[in-house]
């Protein structure tokens, strides 16, 4: 580890913190229906869309209606995307002449993009036509992110309103998230990426003759526009197979920094939106503080592990960091930082191969996802995820001040507890149960690329990434098999919708409650004590479940590496 | 009752029956009420069957699996024992109450107005029956005195042997079945059928038989069940992982890991905590009609307290004589003393005392003076004496002014009166009265033969230490509101002296009720106490309504708690008990969850050591062998239940230090402590069992 390295990490954190307030203010205005800079242009478009869809902007929905609308919208999205992939060969904009995508892979990919996971069992440039990328995948990149934002906004309303019934209108929240937040930002980002050298073309792949005289096909496409939403919407699905390690998808350190910032921007700003809408910005900063502690700790461990590298190499006199699977232009620091960011948020884009990290370097991305991606997290998803942990933390510790637990004046009772527990339960269910089956099923074990505990980590990482809706891969595992395509698809569905429905149910229950005014007997949730409590709860409640699995994967791998054995 | 009050937690009279109780509670239907313990019992049955199979076919490691089995069952038994001990403490009280409920004969009146009655069994009485109760009789059932006045011994329910007065018509008309009339005769209208009387309810309450889970307890149970499920997933998937690694895990080890990880500590003690909370109230002579009320008490934001008896001593005392111009204090004192000689009210007596102490006016004999006492009536609102043809009167300022012909005139009012020679004196007297009222006192005007003499300053004496109590409540985040019939000026002065946050002056049942509604509309929880029938709507509306035992039947029905000692100050303690109950639950839950870290460090290396010896590094406690590590963890897990029984019965100490400070303190003790203690405990047990050669 070097001072220079830490300075780069600090620069990232500094810019992010500066972004939080203005972005938070803007988003809070958008979702409260206030006027913004973009209103003159966007309001007519928004009105037109509502008129076209027959939606009444002012009509708010009960949580069940909201959830139903959301589920139907996502179901429709899945079916349409599945069809697009299955009929890719006869659809336009296919200069490379890609064949139709097979049924299991189409199912897996459709679910993956609708669930904001972007797990890719395929290589983009060798599987997808431009049409599939732009009309299929990119559309879901936008709306799956908007879906996450809508849920988080609905949940925030539940706290800011008292004795209400409705939590907002799903169609309106979705439209505003896309129109006012994602689209304008993506237009700007696309232009920046193009300026930095990312291709943006509908032209065919280019054939080149190398110096040795060999023929080489260089894949191109509308990369910059895909890249913008891939990062900002924490989708993470690469245009190319190598994802953000590909020079066309991440040319230099500036594009790398912009990509890292856009992964966290909306998620971090959400804490501020929350603070503003509940009338105390400190509440938001406290949540961001807890996220920040876990984040910095994760970055520190990965950076340390990657910089310290491998004692076996040292024994051969090879000094320096672990550079296996890393791009030289990013180096140890930016690869470590990127890995932590992409798994802390539910992005899943990679600029280095996580499977090539040291055991401990790979452990942190796993833990980040297993905690439910609540360290900033996916757009919206990270916020409603951490609210679930807050509910548990407040419930247990809140009792210790001698009052029945309440958060921001809302009593946490049996209904909220039931829903929070259900949501938290579904992650270990999908991650551990599928991993357990896959690790004894011979056909599934056959997909594993490496022996020993590292092979186990590959399976564990795949299901963890799917259920956490991350989408990053550990590498090594051949996941494009019917078994993995189907089970990973199921894992993604569980990890997405079995959390969303309880989260909306909590919103519906909280919005109906009175707001109890705070007093000296209420425990303050905007201070350091709360931050510490939340960090502890996330680690103990979210993390302990995975201790045995982690012990058999990265932990034992690390101990074996110290003893001189690698995989 | 008084005996059980001193019963300590380690009383053998409770502990010995509780051991039996622990086994009786193994009944699956009883266990099913507690999800965590039900799961432990289920896996214990499973491992027992497996052990017996191994025993039959001669498996390996029989000693080890026997011990695991043994401690699994101990875990369940210890949980049952905790509950039995908690219930046992209530049983002692229930037994003494049962004695009071013994079969009584009732004198059922055949004609409501007559004196003819026939003897019937107490249990056959119906609501609305009217019975005659004479000196020496046991009151057959709960009811209301409709005629007569009697002294009643209520020791059976309150433990207080001094008799109390029960009379018809007032706020002291309720009588309780099982109490004994000591003198006089009363007619009682029966208000409760057999089986649902006050004593019946008390018995079921203290025995915990009718205990319903409170809302917060239900929510906590959901969390505990959820954590149990999560750890089912965490442990059930281990064999598959181990298979991948080329190893295998014994089912006994797996079950041991599972049981130590799930929140058995809080699961085992949860119901004991609830019972003990109720029990603490009962020991305090307060009966909660539901556990919900006890929980609500912890949440109270606003406390409505009656001024008289709670904030001030019941009686006002004369502290000063303020004569009008031209008269000496001595003259006023003399007249005031004469007017009060036969006045037996505490105020009257305090006037005599003040006259004697300050002006050396000695007591005089009414008969010797040939004086006749004129008692206070609601019409005149004055009292006094007639002697030697002169009349001395004292009373409320308006009443005395009306008596002297001044009326309650406004200062610059009626021209005719303003012009009268007395108008100057009237104004002066009113000024003095206003001054006294402003200082929080009650002015009492004195007149002789139509001439105003001056004003006696009666002062409310604020109870010692009450100011500090309110400051403490403020730190808990509780707002205190004083309720008084006084005028706003007087109320403000006393409120300032006592340090309450707010007051409601000239309180009527209606504005009391609307105050409660107002507070509740702001989302606050309100507690109050009351005794009169006119308090009943407010008691019912309040989230915590404490009815005084001396109160009317209506008040007792409306409240959700009854204070047997009829001490309104207790509201403060009730709030503390409610808070303590919640805190104990939270503290033990935190402790239980925090324990898991150490247990992982004990069991994981032990479990995987056979195929991943490298994981031995995680054995940070240096436990002797894998078997001793696993045994130590499960033994610790069982013994910690026993160790925490006293805490769960006594409750975590509540300190009024503000929520933030309280939380950090408890997090430090139960959170950090919960992480560290098991490391030490498991290591110690490991040392012992290794020394004993058990593993």
* Number of cross-chain residue pairs from A and B with Cβ atoms under 8 Å apart: 218
Half-sphere exposure of A103 (CA within 13 A, CB side): 2
- Cβ contact (<8 Å) for B663 and A402? no
* Nearest Cβ partner for B240 among A401, A437, A515: A437
In tens, the pLDDT along B609-620 reads 989 999 999 999
Q: Residue B314: which H helix or E strand, with range? A: strand B312-323
- Active-site annotation of B, residues: 306
In tens, the pLDDT along B409-418 reads 444 434 444 4
Residue B7: the pLDDT is: 47
Instruction: Supply the mean pLDDT for chain A.
Output: 93
- Cβ contact (<8 Å) for A414 and B222? yes
pLDDT at B588 over 90: yes
Structure tokens at A522: 């209420």
SS3 A147: helix
Contacts of B602 in chain A (CB under 8 A): none
Nearest to A366, CA basis, from A230, A556, A549? A549
Other CB atoms within 10 Å distance of the CB of residue A34: 11
In tens, the pLDDT along B482-491 reads 988 878 888 8
Q: Residue B322: which H helix or E strand, with range? A: strand B312-323
Q: How distant is the Cα of A540 from the closest Cα of chain B, in angstroms?
A: 7
* Nearest Cβ partner for B230 among A400, A414, A428: A428
pLDDT band at B209 (very low <50, low <70, confident <90, very high): low
Q: Residue A138: which H helix or E strand, with range? A: helix A138-160
Cβ partners under 8 Å of residue B27, min gap 6 = none
Residue B208: the pLDDT is: 63
Helix H segments across B522-595?
Answer: 536-541, 553-558, 570-594
Are A276 and A25 a contacting pair, CB within 8 Å? yes
- Cβ contact (<8 Å) for B659 and A437? no
Q: Cα separations (Å) of A336 from A204, A325, A343, A354, A363?
A: 34, 12, 11, 9, 12
- Cα separation, B604 vs B624, whole angstroms: 14
- Cα separation, A226 vs A523, whole angstroms: 45
Contacts of A426 in chain B (CB under 8 A): none
Are B165 and B150 a contacting pair, CB within 8 Å? yes
Bridge partners of B385, per DSSP, are B373, B392
Mean per-residue pLDDT for A56-66? Answer: 93
pLDDT at A560 over 80: yes
- Cβ contact (<8 Å) for A555 and B659? no
- Cα separation, B405 vs B636, whole angstroms: 86
SS3 B353: helix
Q: What angle do CA A12, A297, A436 make, to 5 degrees?
A: 115
Kindly report which listed range (A387-396, B101-110, B122-131, B519-528) carries the lowest average pLDDT score: B101-110
Interface of A with B in 149-188 (CB under 8 A): 162
- Cα separation, A101 vs B415, whole angstroms: 106
Contacts of A555 in chain B (CB under 8 A): 615, 618
Residue B671: the pLDDT is: 93
Q: Structural domain boundaries of chain B?
A: 12-93+205-285+575-692, 301-311+463-564, 317-407+421-459
* Nearest Cβ partner for B614 among A515, A549, A560: A560
Are B453 and B324 a contacting pair, CB within 8 Å? yes
Q: How distant is the Cα of B594 from the closest Cα of chain A, in angstroms?
A: 7
Contacts of A545 in chain B (CB under 8 A): 230-231, 233-234
Backbone angles phi, psi at B296, to 5 degrees: -60, -35
SS3 A114: helix
Q: What topology is assigned to B301-311+463-564 in CATH?
A: Rossmann fold (3.40.50)
In tens, the pLDDT along B324-352 reads 888 888 888 888 888 888 777 778 888 88
CATH dotted code for B317-407+421-459? 3.40.1110.10
- Cβ contact (<8 Å) for B659 and A433? no
In tens, the pLDDT along B529-575 reads 877 677 788 888 899 998 887 777 777 788 888 888 777 778 888 88
Interface of B with A in 185-204 (CB under 8 A): none
Mutation pick from B233, B478, B605 vs chain A, by most beta carbons of A within 10 Å, is B233
- Cα separation, B339 vs B383, whole angstroms: 7
- Cβ contact (<8 Å) for B222 and A560? no
Mutation pick from A366, A398, A403, A436 vs chain B, by most beta carbons of B within 10 Å, is A403
Q: Is the ipTM of this complex over 0.95?
A: no
Strand ranges in A109-157 using DSSP code E only, listed in sequence order: none
Interface of A with B in 422-441 (CB under 8 A): 422, 424-425, 428-429, 432-433, 435-437, 439-440
* Nearest Cβ partner for B240 among A429, A436, A515: A436
Alpha-carbon Rg for chain A, nearest whole angstrom, is: 23
pLDDT at B183 over 90: no
Q: Which residue has the tokens 């090879």?
A: A318
- Cβ contact (<8 Å) for B600 and A544? yes
- Cα separation, B229 vs A424, whole angstroms: 11
Nearest to B281, CA basis, from B197, B176, B211, B194? B211
- Cα separation, A213 vs A208, whole angstroms: 9
- Cα separation, B267 vs B221, whole angstroms: 8
Contacts of B612 in chain A (CB under 8 A): 453, 552, 556, 559
Structure tokens at B340: 């009060």
Backbone angles phi, psi at A215, to 5 degrees: -90, 140
- Cβ contact (<8 Å) for B233 and A540? no
Is residue B486 part of an annotated ligand binding site?
Answer: no
pTM of the predicted protein model: 0.86
Contacts of A412 in chain B (CB under 8 A): 219
Are B301-311+463-564 and B317-407+421-459 equal in CATH topology?
Answer: no
- Cβ contact (<8 Å) for B586 and A549? no
Contacts of B614 in chain A (CB under 8 A): 556, 559-560, 563
Mutation pick from A286, A359, A401, A518 vs chain B, by most beta carbons of B within 10 Å, is A401
Is residue B343 part of an annotated ligand binding site?
Answer: yes
pLDDT at A169 over 80: yes
Residue B463: the pLDDT is: 79
Residue with the larger pLDDT of the pair A157 and B105: A157
Cβ partners under 8 Å of residue B195, min gap 6 = none
Judge whether A555 is closer than 8 Å to chain B, CB to CB: yes
Nearest to B282, CA basis, from B442, B91, B568? B91
Q: Cα separations (Å) of A392 from A203, A386, A388, A535, B586?
A: 53, 10, 7, 12, 12
Cβ partners under 8 Å of residue B135, min gap 6 = B150, B181, B182, B183, B184, B185
Percent of chain B with pLDDT over 90: 29
- Cα separation, B564 vs B5, whole angstroms: 15
Contacts of A424 in chain B (CB under 8 A): 226, 230
- Cβ contact (<8 Å) for B523 and A162? yes
**DSSP states of A397-445:** HHHTTTS--EETTEE--HHHHHHHHHHHHHHHIIIIIHHHHHHH-HHHH
Interface of A with B in 380-419 (CB under 8 A): 392, 395-405, 409, 412-414, 416-418
Q: Cα separations (Å) of A165 from A149, A241, A387, A505, B6?
A: 20, 46, 20, 12, 52
Contacts of A445 in chain B (CB under 8 A): 244
Strands across the sheet containing B149-153: B164-167, B149-153, B180-183
- Cα separation, A194 vs B146, whole angstroms: 94
Are B132 and B185 a contacting pair, CB within 8 Å? yes
Mean per-residue pLDDT for A187-193? Answer: 97
Nearest CA in chain B to A565: B614
Kindly report which listed range (A53-62, A484-493, B192-201, B451-460) carries the lowest average pLDDT score: B192-201
Nearest to B458, CA basis, from B374, B384, B379, B396? B396
Cβ burial B490-521 (10 Å sphere, 16+ → b, else e) = bbbbbbebbbbeebbbebeeeebbebbeebbe
Nearest to B644, CA basis, from B21, B17, B82? B82
**DSSP states of B203-228:** HHHHHTTTPPPPHHHHHHHHHHHHHH
Instruction: Supply the mean pLDDT for chain B.
Output: 84
Kindly report which listed range (A170-174, A348-352, B4-8, B178-182) carries the lowest average pLDDT score: B4-8
Judge whether B269 is closer than 8 Å to chain A, CB to CB: no
Residue B100: the pLDDT is: 64
Contacts of B590 in chain A (CB under 8 A): 396-397, 400
Are B396 and B437 a contacting pair, CB within 8 Å? no
pLDDT at A291 over 90: yes
- Cβ contact (<8 Å) for B593 and A533? no
- Cβ contact (<8 Å) for A412 and B227? no
Is residue B394 part of an annotated ligand binding site?
Answer: yes
- Cβ contact (<8 Å) for A396 and B658? no
Structure tokens at A305: 């592990």
Judge whether B222 is closer than 8 Å to chain A, CB to CB: yes
Residue B210: the pLDDT is: 57
Half-sphere exposure of A368 (CA within 13 A, CB side): 39
Q: How distant is the Cα of A473 from the closest Cα of chain B, in angstroms?
A: 20
């Amino acid at each position: 580890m070097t001072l220079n390295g830490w300075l780069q990490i600090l620069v990232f954190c500094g810019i992010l913190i500066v972004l939080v307030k203005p972005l938070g203010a803007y988003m809070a205005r958008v979702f409260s229906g206030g006027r913004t800079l973009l209103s003159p242009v966007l309001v007519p478009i928004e009105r037109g869309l509502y008129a076209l869809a027959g939606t009444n902007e002012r009509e708010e929905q009960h949580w069940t209606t909201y959830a139903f609308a959301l589920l139907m919208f996502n179901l429709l999205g899945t079916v349409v995307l599945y069809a697009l992939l299955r009929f890719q060969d006869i659809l336009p904009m296919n200069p490379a002449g890609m064949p139709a995508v097979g049924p299991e892979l189409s199912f897996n990919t459709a679910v993956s993009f609708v669930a904001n996971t972007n797990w890719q069992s395929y290589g983009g440039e060798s599987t997808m036509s431009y049409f599939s990328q732009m009309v299929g995948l990119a559309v879901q990149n936008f709306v799956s992110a908007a879906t996450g934002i809508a849920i988080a906004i609905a949940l925030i309303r539940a706290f800011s309103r008292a004795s209400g019934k409705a939590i907002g209108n799903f169609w309106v929240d979705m439209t505003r998230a896309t129109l006012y937040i994602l689209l304008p930002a993506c237009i700007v980002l696309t232009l920046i990426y193009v300026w930095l050298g990312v291709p943006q073309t509908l032209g065919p792949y280019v054939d080149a003759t190398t110096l040795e005289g060999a023929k080489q096909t260089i894949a191109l496409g509308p990369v910059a526009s895909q890249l913008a939403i891939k990062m900002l919407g924490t989708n993470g699905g690469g245009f190319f197979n190598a994802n953000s390690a590909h020079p066309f998808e991440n040319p230099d350190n500036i594009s790398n920094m912009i990509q890292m910032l856009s992964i966290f921007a909306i998620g971090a700003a959400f804490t501020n939106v929350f603070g503003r809408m509940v009338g105390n910005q400190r509440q938001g900063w406290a949540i961001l503080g807890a996220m920040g502690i876990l984040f910095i700790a994760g970055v520190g461990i990965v950076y340390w592990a990657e910089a310290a590298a491998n004692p076996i190499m040292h024994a051969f006199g090879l000094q320096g960091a672990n550079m296996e699977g890393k791009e030289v232009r990013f180096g140890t620091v930016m690869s470590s930082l990127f890995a932590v960011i992409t798994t802390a948020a539910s992005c899943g884009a990679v600029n280095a191969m996580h499977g090539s990290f040291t055991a401990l370097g790979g452990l942190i991305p796993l833990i980040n996802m297993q905690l439910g991606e609540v360290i900033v997290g996916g757009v919206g998803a990270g916020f409603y995820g951490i609210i679930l942990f807050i509910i548990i933390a407040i419930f247990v510790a809140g009792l210790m001040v001698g009052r029945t637990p309440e958060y921001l004046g809302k009593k946490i009772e049996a209904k909220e507890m039931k829903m929070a527990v259900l949501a938290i339960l579904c992650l270990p269910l999908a991650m551990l149960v599928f991993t357990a089956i896959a690790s004894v099923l011979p056909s599934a074990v056959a997909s594993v690329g490496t022996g020993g505990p590292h092979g186990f980590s590959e399976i564990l990482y795949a299901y963890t990434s799917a259920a956490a809706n991350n989408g990053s891969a550990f590498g090594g595992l051949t996941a494009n098999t019917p078994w993995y395509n189907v089970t990973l698809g199921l894992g993604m569905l569980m990890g997405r919708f079995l959390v969303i429905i309880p989260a909306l149910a909590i919103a519906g229950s909280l919005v109906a409650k009175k707001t109890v005014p705070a007093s000296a007997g209420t425990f303050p949730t905007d201070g350091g004590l709360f931050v510490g409590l939340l960090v502890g709860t996330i680690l103990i409640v979210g993390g302990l479940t995975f201790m045995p699995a982690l012990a058999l994967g990265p932990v034992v791998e690390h101990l074996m590496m110290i003893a001189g054995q690698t995989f | 009752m008084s005996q059980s009050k001193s019963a300590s937690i380690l009383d053998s009279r409770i502990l010995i029956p509780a051991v039996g109780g622990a086994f009786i509670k193994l009944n699956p239907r009883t266990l099913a009420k507690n999800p965590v313990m039900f799961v432990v019992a289920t896996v214990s049955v499973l491992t027992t069957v497996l052990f017996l199979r191994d025993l039959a076919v001669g498996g390996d490691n029989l000693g080890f699996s026997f011990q695991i089995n043994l401690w699994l069952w101990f875990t369940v038994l210890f949980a049952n024992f905790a509950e039995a001990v908690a219930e046992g403490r209530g049983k002692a009280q229930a037994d003494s109450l049962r004695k009071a409920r013994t079969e009584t004969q009732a004198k059922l009146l055949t004609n409501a107005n007559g004196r003819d009655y026939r003897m019937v069994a107490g249990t056959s009485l119906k609501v609305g029956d009217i019975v005659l109760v004479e000196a020496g009789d046991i009151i057959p059932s709960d009811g209301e005195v409709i005629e007569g006045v009697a002294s009643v011994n209520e020791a059976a329910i309150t433990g207080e042997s001094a008799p109390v007065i029960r009379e018809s018509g007032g706020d002291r008309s309720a009588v309780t079945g099982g109490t004994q009339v000591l003198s006089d005769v009363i007619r009682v209208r029966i208000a409760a059928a057999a089986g649902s009387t006050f004593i019946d309810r008390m018995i079921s309450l203290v025995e915990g038989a009718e205990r319903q889970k409170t809302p917060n307890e239900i929510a906590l149970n959901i969390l505990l069940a959820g954590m149990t499920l999560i750890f089912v997933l965490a442990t059930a998937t281990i064999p598959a992982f181990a298979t991948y690694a080329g190893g295998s895990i014994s089912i006994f080890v797996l079950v041991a890991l599972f049981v130590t990880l799930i929140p058995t500590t809080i699961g085992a003690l949860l119901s004991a905590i609830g019972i003990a909370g109720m029990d603490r109230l009962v020991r305090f002579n307060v009966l909660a009609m539901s556990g919900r009320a006890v929980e609500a008490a912890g949440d109270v934001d606003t406390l409505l307290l009656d001024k008289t008896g709670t904030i001030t001593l019941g009686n006002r005392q004369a502290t000063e004589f303020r004569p009008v111009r031209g008269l000496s204090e001595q003259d006023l004192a003399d007249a005031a003393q004469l007017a009060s000689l036969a006045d037996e009210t505490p105020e009257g007596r305090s006037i005599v005392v003040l006259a004697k102490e300050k002006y050396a006016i000695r007591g005089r004999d009414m008969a010797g003076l040939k004086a006749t006492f004129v008692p206070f009536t609601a019409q005149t609102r004055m009292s006094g004496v007639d002697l030697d043809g002169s009349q001395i009167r004292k009373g409320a300022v308006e009443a005395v002014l009306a008596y002297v012909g001044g009326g309650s005139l406004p200062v610059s009012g009626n021209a005719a009166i303003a012009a009268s020679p007395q108008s100057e004196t009237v104004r002066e007297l009113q000024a003095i009265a206003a001054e006294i009222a402003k200082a929080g006192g009650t002015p009492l005007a004195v007149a002789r033969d139509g001439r105003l003499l001056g004003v006696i300053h009666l002062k409310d004496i604020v109870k010692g230490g009450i100011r500090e109590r309110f400051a403490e409540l403020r730190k808990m985040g509780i707002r205190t509101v004083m309720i008084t019939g006084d005028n706003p000026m007087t109320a403000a002065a006393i409120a300032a002296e006592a340090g309450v946050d707010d007051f409601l002056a000239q309180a009527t049942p209606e504005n009391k009720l609307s105050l409660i509604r107002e507070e509740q509309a702001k989302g606050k929880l309100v507690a109050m106490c009351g005794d009169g029938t006119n308090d009943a709507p407010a008691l019912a509306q309040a989230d915590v309504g404490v009815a005084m035992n001396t109160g009317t039947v209506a008040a007792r029905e409306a409240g959700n708690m009854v204070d047997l000692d009829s001490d309104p100050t207790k509201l403060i303690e009730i709030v503390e008990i409610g808070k303590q109950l919640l805190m104990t639950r939270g503290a033990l839950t935190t402790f239980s969850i925090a324990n898991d870290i150490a247990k992982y460090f004990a069991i994981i290396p032990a479990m995987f050591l056979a195929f991943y010896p490298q994981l031995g590094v995680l054995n940070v406690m240096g436990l002797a062998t894998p078997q001793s590590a696993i045994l130590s963890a499960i033994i610790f897990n069982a013994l910690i239940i026993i160790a925490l029984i006293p805490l769960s019965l006594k409750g975590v100490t509540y300190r009024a230090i503000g929520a933030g400070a309280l939380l950090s303190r408890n997090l430090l003790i139960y959170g950090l402590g919960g992480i560290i203690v098991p490391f030490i405990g498991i290591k110690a047990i490991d040392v012992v069992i290794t020394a004993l050669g058990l593993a």
